Structure formats: structure tokens, C-alpha cells
Structure 1
Amino acid sequence: MALQISATNPEHPALLLELPWDLPLEEWPERHLVPLPRGISRHVVRYARAGDEVVAVKELAERPAVREFGLLRDLDRLNIPAVDPLAVVTGRTRGDTPLEPVLITRHLTGSLPYRSMFETTMRPATMHRLMDALAVLLVRLHLAGFAWGDCSLSNTLFRRDAGAYAAYLVDAETGDLHSRLSDGQRAYDLDLARVNISGELLDLEASGALHPSVDPIEFGTEICRRYDGLWRELTRTSVYPAGKHHYIDRRIRRLNELGFDVAEMQIGHSSNGDTVTFVPKVVDAGHHQRQLLRLTGLDAEENQARRLLNDLESWMATQEDYSPGDPPPSSRLRSSRGDPHAARPEVLAHRWVREVFRPTVRAVPRELRGSMDAAELYHELLEHRWYLSERAQHDIGLDTAVDDYVKHILPKIRKTLPSTDVTTPSA
């Protein structure tokens, strides 16, 4: 059988042909590999360079490889945080000996497997943020009708997200996509997550990498509590007194604060007209991401987007051509109602990107950023400005904050960033 590369992009096969497909992954020469931290996997996995791309290559049988490739493409269409599928390579041989096919996904820049994060003892508060990120990911999968079948820390990658974390699905091999999940399917997924996470933390405890105050069994149960609370908030039916429509607005704002938009809703009146029933039928994640992308063209994680929108709103208020009657960036865009000569919010937003965001990020030398993306770097600079301003009891400005951050903070935090020579995209 001839070598066959089934790819999502017509440009990828030519780049992938440079890799040594006639060798098992375990024997690939170092010149093709990229030294990135890997999590535990039942399959052989390697990071390799294909042109300007860094890819994850996983050996597995053809049927599960093709199936997982299809599921990852489905998750991409549903806008679910998961690794980006690039190709499946079949027909590999070493002389007359057949070799296992491989699934190829794009490396998630700036991400880490959980074991790499525990190389130094992680504080319980940070672990809680990991559980929050994993609970959000599991809820988003279930809302989309995806039963994971093997939710665990090992099958997840984590990226920094403005002081929190964003979780991405890595392994979809055991997953199934349905139009809607039953309560039993969700409960089964959740129980697997509890058992898997407790087991992984017990393993860390045995190796001495777990904080002594952390109870592995309790933390396994914690994912269930966090999931249940978020699922209830996103799907519960609310009954309000008739005429109190602001209660519905308040519920929608609460969902927005959690990072979700209500894309479709059902509102019904009781037979006697005393109450109104509100049911959010379709809830889409990424509320602040979409607002930031629409206003500025910047694509960021949800918490990063929320932070950048807050900074944008504060900056807009200082501009002479901003009308106080305009809606803030975090609300739905409308035309200016105040000064007829005032600039529209989206015009101001692009000016903020051009005059504030990009110059600030570019003031940090590229070689010092590591794999930190532009949005996370800007968040770090805002945090540092706040710290310095509190200490000085006045606003010290972004320029001063950047200088101090590069000299005193960045050399320290670079040690905690993923080790990679992947080029960081420009701001």
C-alpha cells in the first residue's frame, strides 16, 4: 500500500512528506523532533517540525486514527477547545514491514500537560483553577452533545488565561458525538472524570509532587461539584413575577459574566399571567472572546478577552472623540447616541490596538517572551502596572511598567514557561 496523507489543508501534505515515515516514531532522528513536554499516553507520541509548524504525531491503528481525526474536526466546527487536527498518514512501511498509521495535530502553543505543571509543587489555589478550567471544558462538550468517555488531566492541555487556565481536549479517541446527551451519559462522563482525576493525583502524591494539604479523593470529587454548579446555572429554568423583565436581563448578564451567550431562549407566561418562565435553550461559550474579536480582530482566551475589554473601555473613556452615551465594549455594539462627531466604538477599538496594545506588546523583546502569547503578555503587563501603581500610590503608566517587567519580572517567570523554540505570533 502506498503512503497516503489525508489532510485538512492542501498545503500540509507537501510539508509532512519531509518527515521520516519509514521509521517507527520511537526511532525518529533528533533533527526532526522538538523538545516539548509530553503527557502520559497509551500511544507513542512525538513533537516534530513540519515547515514552520510544530505538530504532535501519535501512532495508533488506522480505524481509531481516522475516527479521532473526524471527531476533532467536528469539535473544531463546534468551536470546542481541542487540539487542531491536521492529517492522518496511512500506508507507512519499513521495507516490507507495515508500520502503524499516525494522527497529526497542531501543537497548542503555550500549553502544558498537567504533569509538567507539577514539576514544582503546585499550590491548592492553582489546582482549584485547573479544576475550574476542566469543569468548563466538560460542560462545553456536554452542551455540544459530545460524550468524552475518558475525561482526565492526562487527556487535557492547559494554557494560561489571565490568571486562570483554559483547558483543551487532547484525546478524542473514546468520544462520541450526539445531538443531545442524556443525564445518564453526562453522569457517566462525570464519574469517569472523578475516578481518573483522583487516580492521577494519588500517583502524584506517591511521587512527592503533590502539595501535602491536597486530598486526591476530595479533589476528584471537586470536579463534580464545579461541573454541577456550572451546568445548573447554564440550563436551569427560572420563574419570575410577570412584568419583572429586568430579572431575565440579570440572568443573561450573569451568564455573560461566566463567559456564555444565550443564543436561543424560551419565554412563556403562566395561564393566569402572574409569572414568566425563562429557559436558556442554547448557550454558546466565548462571550467576551466574540466581543473582543468583533471589536478589535484580536483572538484571545475568554479571561484574557475580558481583561482586554476592561482595559479598552477604560482607555476609550479618556478619548476626546468618545461619547459617554456610547455602550461599553463589553455590550452589544450600537451606533453612537451622543455627540454626532464622536467615533464609533469599533473605530476607537482599532485605534487602541494600533496605539496601545501592539506598541506595548512589541516593547517586550520577542526572544524574552518564550511561548507567552500577546494577550497573556498584555495581561501580565497590566497586572504589573497595577502592582507598581499601588506601591507608588499613583498611576505609573504602561511604559514604566513594561521597562520594570522586562528587567525584573520576565527573567523569573520565563523559567516557569513551556520550553519551546516555536516562534510566537506577532501582536
Structure 2
Amino acid sequence: MPLQIRAFDAGHPSKLLDLAWSVPLEQWPDESLVALPRGISRHVVRFAMAGDEVVAIKEVSEWAAVREYGLLRDLDRLAIPAVDPIAVVTGRVGADGEPLEPALITRHLNGSLPYRSMFETTMRPGTVNRLLDALAVLLVRLHLVGFAWGDCSLSNTLFRRDAGAFAAYLVDAETGQLHPQLSRGQRDYDIELARVNIAGELMDLEAGGSLHPSVDPVTFGEAIVSRYADLWHELTRESVYPASKRYYIDDRIRRLNDLGFDVAEMQIQRSPGGDQVTFLPKVVDAGHHQRQLLRLTGLDTEENQARSLLNDLEHWMATQDDYAPGDPLGARPEVLAHRWVRQVFRPAVRLVPLDRRAGLDPAQIYHELLEHRWYLSERAGHDVGLDTTVESYLTDVLPHSALAAAVPPPTA
């Protein structure tokens, strides 16, 4: 059978043809590969350049490759954080005429790291907590759309910096199943697997001296259960309020917004006696602040980054002479937001040289500049200004970034 490339992105097949498909993946020469940190996988996985972008290549059976490719496309359609599927390659034959295993190709998630590569020394409790928070959010989002992961773990997840937290992305979907809705048993099965896997992964870190002594692997493994349960309950619980206090419904929606979720559909019922109102969020969509920032500025960011940037945008807008909320003669929020992007956001990010940004995206850089400016100003007792902030940031903050150590500098 001749070499076949089934591609999701029509712009990739010609770029993919130049890769060494007649050689087993684990034998590919160094000049064909990109040195990026890899997580643990039961399959051979390598990173390579396809044209001008980095792709991840995994050798796996044809049935498994086609199935995972389809599931990743479904998750992309459902706006779930996961790696982007690019292609399935079949019909590979070695130089000796023997068939080689097919390959699944996904786009490398810029600025992401497997959890083992995030810290060179010791993973502290606060960091483990933030990783678990991100993983719980990802698992809830998967379950809300009816996706049973079947192998939830830190190893099957990639993490990106998201302001002071992390954003989690599914990277391995081969055991997943997509249903119209999950039963309680299906969700509990995923959670139990997550608990066991996380405890085991943390024990591995402990054995290698990479876990802080105060982190108990079993306790932190069990923590994913309570974190998931709390978030699931808040997103799906039915609330009963006195009819005279229907504003409680608005309060509940605001709490969901603060968690980063929008209520896309809801069910409200009045009791037979008319003295109570029952509220049930029927469809909850993640990315509340992401969508708000994207609508105002066109910037596509992670959720916590969007929250940070929106706060700065709101404070900046309040200083503008033509900002007049509710006044038809005042500038529209969208006009001010785009002015903020041109006059504030982009100039600040450009002060950080491109070759010094490591794997950080512009939104993360801007958030870290805001945080560092606040820290320096608090210590100095006055606003230190952007130039001083950037100078200190380049010297004292960026060199210690996990991404700076793990992501190779861009080529000329």
C-alpha cells in the first residue's frame, strides 16, 4: 500500500511528505527532530519540523490513530482544550521493505510543558495544587460535553502558564469515548482513575527527589476527587430560592462567571404556591473572560490571562477623557479596548525582545509585567514605570521561567 496522509489541515500534506517516513520514528536523525521535553508515553513520540511549525508524531496502530484523530477533531469542534489533530500517516514501508507502524500527527502546543519538565528541582505544594486545579477544570469540561477520558493523568496532560495559574490540555485521547451524556458511574470511573494515576505519578517524583517533602502523594491524589466534586456541584446543582429574592439567580450566574463559565441555557420554574423559584443551569460553557476579551480586543488568551488583562483594561479605560459609561457621546468600549491594545498592550510586550520570550505568549508576558510592576512599585512606595519594570523583569524574572529552560530559542 502506498504512503497515505489523511490530513485535517489541507495546508499540511506537502510539508509532511518531506519527513522520514521510511525510517522507524525512534531512529529518526537528530537533524529531523526538535529538542522539546516529552512526557511519558506507551508509544514512541517525537517532535519534528513540518514546514515552519513543530508537530508531534506518535507511532500507533492504524485503528488507534484514526480513532484518536477523530476524537481530537470532535473535541476541537466542542472547544475543549486539547492538542490539534493534523493528520494520520499510513502505508509506511522501511528501506528493507517491511511495513512500519502508522503515525498520528498533532500540532505542538506552543508554550506547553509536560508536568515532569516544569521544575528542574523540587515541585512545591502550591504548584501541585495549581496543576490539580487545572486538571479538575479540564475533567469537568470534558464530562460536561459527554467525553469519558478513560485515562486521566498528569502524564496525559500538557500545561500552559495562565496568569498565576495553569491551563490544562488533553494530549492523549486514545482511550476516550464521546457520548451524548455521561452517567454518574462513567464520571466516577474517570475520577477514580485520575486519583490512582496522580498518586502514582507523584510517588515517582518523590522517588526521584523532585517532590517537596510536605507533599503526600496519596493525599494529593485524593485531592482531585474533592476539587472535581466541588466544581461539578457548583456548575450543575439545582437551586431553590424564595420568589421575593430572584436576584439570587443573578448572584449564582455571577459566581459561575467568576469561575470562568457562562450559562448558555437555564431552566427556571416557579413552585405551585408561587413562593419559590427553582433554578438549574442546563448548559455551562467555559471561557467567560476569554470570550469577553476576544470580543473587545481580538486577543485570544487563556481564561486567567483574560481576567488579568480585562482588569488592566478596565482601569485604563477609566483614565481616558472620552470614557463615559452610558453616555452615547462617549467612546464605545470596543473603541477604547482597541486603543488599549495599540497604545498599551503591544508596546509593553515589544519591550521584551523576541529572543528572550522563551515559550511565553504575549498575554502571559503582559500579565507577568503587570505583576512585577506591582511588586516593584509596592517595594519602592511609588509607581516605578514600565521601563524599570521591563529591565528588572528581564534580569530577575524571565531567566527563572520553566519555559525559558525547557524551550529552545527560536532559530533565525
> Is the shorter-chain TM-score for this pair beyond 0.5, marking a shared fold?
yes
What is the DSSP-based 3-state SS (H/G/I as helix, E as strand, rest coil) of the residue aligned with 1:5? Answer: strand
Query: Given residue 119 of structure 1, which amino acid in structure 2 is its aligned partner?
Result: E
Distance 1:272 1:415, change over 3 A: closer
Residue 343 of structure 2: aligned partner: 355
Asked whether 1:367 is paired with 2:355, we answer yes
Residue 375 of structure 2: aligned partner: 387
Structure 2, gaps ≥5 residues long: none
Query: Given residue 78 of structure 1, which amino acid in structure 2 is its aligned partner?
Result: L
Residue 159 of structure 2: aligned partner: 158
Residue 234 of structure 1: aligned partner: 235
Count of matched residue positions in the alignment of Structure 1 and Structure 2: 411
CA contact (8 A) 2:86 2:105 kept: yes
Query: Given residue 58 of structure 2, which amino acid in structure 1 is its aligned partner?
Result: K
What is the DSSP-based 3-state SS (H/G/I as helix, E as strand, rest coil) of the residue aligned with 1:349? Answer: helix
The Cα shift of 1:415 comes to 7.0
Residue 76 of structure 2: aligned partner: 76
Q: What is the TM-score when the length of structure 1 is the normalising length?
A: 0.94
Q: What is the TM-score when the length of structure 2 is the normalising length?
A: 0.98
2-structure distance, mates of 1:417, 1:238: 48
Structure 1, gaps ≥5 residues long: 327-336
2-structure distance, mates of 1:420, 1:246: 52
Calculate percent identity across the aligned residue pairs.
72
1:2-21 equivalences under 5 Å are 2-21=2-21
CA contact (8 A) 2:261 2:285 kept: yes
Residue 310 of structure 1: aligned partner: 311
1:87-166 equivalences under 5 Å are 87-95=87-95, 96-166=97-167
1-structure distance, mates of 2:243, 2:406: 54
What is the DSSP-based 3-state SS (H/G/I as helix, E as strand, rest coil) of the residue aligned with 2:342? Answer: helix
2-structure distance, mates of 1:408, 1:216: 32
Greater Cα offset, 258-267 or 406-415: 406-415
The Cα shift of 1:357 comes to 0.3
1-structure distance, mates of 2:194, 2:411: 34
Residue 58 of structure 1: aligned partner: 58
Deviations 1:271-330 (A, max 9, x none): 00010000000000000000000100000000000000000000000000000xx2xxxx
The Cα shift of 1:414 comes to 6.5
2-structure distance, mates of 1:168, 1:138: 10
2-structure distance, mates of 1:392, 1:128: 31
2-structure distance, mates of 1:223, 1:394: 42
Greater Cα offset, 206-215 or 348-357: 206-215
Supply the RMSD in Å over aligned alpha carbons.
Answer: 1.3
Residue 275 of structure 1: aligned partner: 276
What is the DSSP-based 3-state SS (H/G/I as helix, E as strand, rest coil) of the residue aligned with 1:239? Answer: strand
CA contact (8 A) 2:359 2:403 kept: no
The Cα shift of 1:420 comes to 2.5
The Cα shift of 1:245 comes to 2.0
1:218-233 equivalences under 5 Å are 218-233=219-234
Query: Given residue 155 of structure 1, which amino acid in structure 2 is its aligned partner?
Result: N
The Cα shift of 1:10 comes to 1.4
Deviations 1:360-400 (A, max 9, x none): 00011111111110000000000011011101212222233
The Cα shift of 1:198 comes to 0.7
